[in-house]
Amino acid sequence: MLNSKLPNVGTTIFTVMSKLANEHNAINLSQGFPNFKVDQQLIAIYKTILDSDTHQYAPMPGLPQLRYAIAEKVQHHYQRKLQAETEILITAGATQAIFTAITALVHDGEEVIILDPAYDCYDPAVQLAQGIAKHIAMEDDFSIDWQKVEDQITDKTKLIIINNPHNPSGTALKKADFDALTAIMENHPNLLLLSDEVYEYIYFEQPHISVNTLAKIRERSIITSSFGKTFHITGWKMGYIVAPENLLTEIKKVHQFNVFSVNSTAQHTLAAYLPQKDLSTLSGFYQEKRNLFRNLMAKSRFELLPCEGSYFQVASYKAISQEDDITFSKRLTTEFGVAVIPLSAFYEKPPKNNLVRFCFAKTDDTLIQAAEKLCKI
């Protein structure tokens, strides 16, 4: 028998739900990907790039022109002046960014704090680095009790991972959260922060607080972002890391052996496209979708939780059923024709909370049809 390095990892619920959605011809609001058309300007640029001499390896840290374009966006949105040569790394999506950062920085036996519910790629990366993932549950409203977090820190704690705006809950961290986190990092000078900000341009009533703006902690932080989320191109698997040079030097040592460099044609395309785009319009685009979905669902028996950012809406089905969330989600797909993700999928120790996650990165038609079905339950 092969001794698995990840004995507890099986087929993810995302795969299970998408397969079930296909088999039952259900509307798929489960996996987080857009089903609308990509900007035709982006496609036009890509076509020209494909006809040019862009098909060989890009430089290991990424095309300089793409790194400069990212540095300009970071300066514009967060007033942080980055050194594009040494503080930005282009990655194959945020997933590779996170995996590479954890592999490079976490040693055997070091602890990493993960706040549950959490995106599913953090824990396996920590395990493969032979680190110890310490899961701390958020409160019922998905706020974070920072005292609880600080209480879990030991002299072996290397890293805290935050995700803001948050998948799956759709919540966003507030100034008070960052004040508390900054105090913790000041009390523990060796602690590093991994701030997963893939939804940084999708926020609603309150502006996004990026770690890029926080001078006291950004010099000890790795920030990850994803062009997949920002430009509706999740299949391209393009993202990047912003980190201070001393951390990024270590991360690049791993990067050059797990991918060496990232898809060159996609990098050239994004380098030409990014400077032309006003990223501040993305929030408005998704806010309309969020509002449409919430308004349509107001007549349903689902209770919608607040949604402050990301393209996910969490809802309680307590008024409909007392089933566990996996059974309920499967039944929603097979009997009512809408696929969702049960929230327990994001926990090490799932609470009994009767919650499911809807993805509203869908055409208005899809959202209308899904809500019609959901309102009949």
Ligand X SMILES: Cc1ncc(COP(=O)(O)O)c(C=O)c1O
Q: Kindly list the residues in this chain that would bind ligand X in the complex (CB under 6 A).
A: 32, 93-95, 119, 163, 167, 196, 198, 226, 228, 234, 237, 239
Q: Which is nearer to ligand X, 34 or 239 (CB)?
A: 239
Q: Which is nearer to ligand X, 94 or 159 (CB)?
A: 94
Q: Tell me how far, at minimum, the Cβ of 6 lies from ligand X, in Å.
A: 18
Q: Which is nearer to ligand X, 293 or 312 (CB)?
A: 312
Q: Which is nearer to ligand X, 131 or 228 (CB)?
A: 228
Contact 135, 349 (CB under 8 A): yes
Q: Which is nearer to ligand X, 202 or 296 (CB)?
A: 202
d(CA 357, CA 282): 21
Q: Tell me how far, at minimum, the Cβ of 207 lies from ligand X, in Å.
A: 19
d(CA 124, CA 106): 13
Q: Tell me how far, at minimum, the Cβ of 301 lies from ligand X, in Å.
A: 28
Residue number with the smallest Cβ distance to ligand X = 93
Q: Tell me how far, at minimum, the Cβ of 237 lies from ligand X, in Å.
A: 6
Q: Tell me how far, at minimum, the Cβ of 239 lies from ligand X, in Å.
A: 4
Q: Tell me how far, at minimum, the Cβ of 235 lies from ligand X, in Å.
A: 9
Q: Which is nearer to ligand X, 170 or 337 (CB)?
A: 170
